[in-house]
Amino acid sequence: MKVTFFHFNPYRDLPADFADRYRSVWYDLPWNELASGDVAGQHLTWTLDELEHAARAGFDGIGVNEHHQNAYGGMCSPTVLGGNLAQRTSDVDVALVLCGATLPSISPPVRIAEDYAVIDCMSGGRLVAGLPLGTPMDVSLCNGIPPIEQRERYYEGLELVRRAWKQHEPMFPWNGKYFQLPGVNLWPRPIQQPMPIWIPGSGSPSTWEFAADNELCYAMLSYLGADLAQDAFDGYWNYVRSIGLDANPHRAAFVQMVVVSESFEQAERDYLEHIKYFFDKSLHIPPRMWTLPGHQTYGSLTGNKGASKQGATNAEIRANLSTWTLEDFTSRGIVVGGDPDTVREALISVTKRLHVGNLIVVGQIGSMPHDLTLKNIDLLAQEVLPGLRDAWDDGWENHWWPERLRQGDAAAPSATEIVG
């Protein structure tokens, strides 16, 4: 199993009554009333320090993502942060999981192909190229793309990027529905051929079918735990089997919020307020922003029951937030938390039941301060990770991980040897 420490750099200092005073954490919250460049800079520094710390502590990967105009996750450009992390970890065998640059938001999308290729070259081939469809808030509200065009632009962009990355592809013209380029001829092209690609999704069948059809890794990004992801992964694995592919668990990745402390009681004292901050403030998003007309296909509008289940769970959490204990979150699988033994067993159980070979751990949640985040990272790395590594010892190769990092530390040359 490969375990990635994932961060989305939440704004950690929203006021206590934020959700009462503002309608959304995304798109139209006023910067001047709520934030400052000094504080944003401090958060970014902590975030990058925490990711570097996770890399040095022994995580297999470190991950960032892309969001816009929000206090949920302050990462406008995963490639700016990814470039920084590539240099910070030039002496560490850690994958850079950018999860990732949002194709429909960038025109032309070859810009993403270039930036990812640069990071792959800078890091000696350590990039995992996450290429998400993007949230409706980011793509349509913040970046102005008509919701009904989001998927078409995404699939066109993805095809263009994958072709542009190929080592032997001569310069080619691209005359698409949305993008026209007279001669695509990427400089540089990535070291990794082919590039490991992850397709993040939130449970929509059209996304996992696309990932399986193209033999890409399906990464389900949900903050609601394995119970609500079960239907999606059952659907994914059924589809994988139905088109004749093997059940290699590394075809899938899953996000899980995890908090570790000396005991369950200490974990509650350490982390509960920050988990509540996350659900109360970081996820304070009007439902209609999530469901812009056209963001979902007509077929998904009539068929995707998963989204409404997730919405109902979000509503249940928010309605009961003031009285919930850590147990309320852990018993529903929304958060995995407690002492190291409990957490290790729970994570093995999650990955086994979903049949997932790539685990993405979110270990900085909401308002969690820097020192507490470092404690969580250290306990995870020292007490939990060693018991997870061999969860899949049945000979599956992780084709969706940088080749030089697949077998651990021994085989691969260091990045400085390759780059230097």
Q: Return residues touching other proteins (CB under 8 A).
A: 140-141, 144-149, 152, 177, 286, 288-289, 292-294, 298, 301-302
Phi, psi of 62 (to 5 degrees): -125, 140
Task: Give kind and range of the element (H or E) at residue 95.
Answer: strand 95-99
> How far apart are the C-alpha atoms of 52 and 344, rounded to whole Å?
23
Please name the residue that has the structure tokens 């009681």: 265
Min separation Cβ 289 and other proteins, Å: 5
Q: 177 vs 241, which CB is nearer to other proteins?
A: 177
Min separation Cβ 75 and other proteins, Å: 22
Please name the residue that has the structure tokens 């006023």: 30
> How far apart are the C-alpha atoms of 323 and 304, rounded to whole Å?
31
Min separation Cβ 291 and other proteins, Å: 8
Q: 27 vs 59, which CB is nearer to other proteins?
A: 27
| Cβ partners under 8 Å of residue 70, min gap 6 | 25, 26, 27, 29, 137
Whether the link from the prior residue into 194 is cis, omega within 30° of 0, is yes
Q: 86 vs 145, which CB is nearer to other proteins?
A: 145
Min separation Cβ 46 and other proteins, Å: 32
Cβ-contact 105, 68 below 8 angstroms: yes
Q: 75 vs 137, which CB is nearer to other proteins?
A: 137
Q: 187 vs 298, which CB is nearer to other proteins?
A: 298
132: helix, coil or strand? coil
CA atoms within 13 A on the CB side of 297: 11
> How far apart are the C-alpha atoms of 129 and 116, rounded to whole Å?
7
Q: 123 vs 140, which CB is nearer to other proteins?
A: 140
Extract the tokens encoding 110.
């070859």
DSSP 98: E
Min separation Cβ 187 and other proteins, Å: 31
What single letter denotes the amino acid at residue 404?
R
Min separation Cβ 85 and other proteins, Å: 32
Min separation Cβ 31 and other proteins, Å: 19
> How far apart are the C-alpha atoms of 256 and 8, rounded to whole Å?
13
Q: 289 vs 343, which CB is nearer to other proteins?
A: 289
Min separation Cβ 144 and other proteins, Å: 4
Min separation Cβ 38 and other proteins, Å: 31
Q: 141 vs 377, which CB is nearer to other proteins?
A: 141
Q: Residue ranges of the alpha helices (H) in 185-304? A: 205-213, 226-242, 264-277, 287-290, 298-303
Taking CA 222 as the corner, what is the angle to CA 39 and CA 59, rounded to the nearest 5 degrees?
70
> How far apart are the C-alpha atoms of 333 and 313, rounded to whole Å?
12
Q: 41 vs 293, which CB is nearer to other proteins?
A: 293
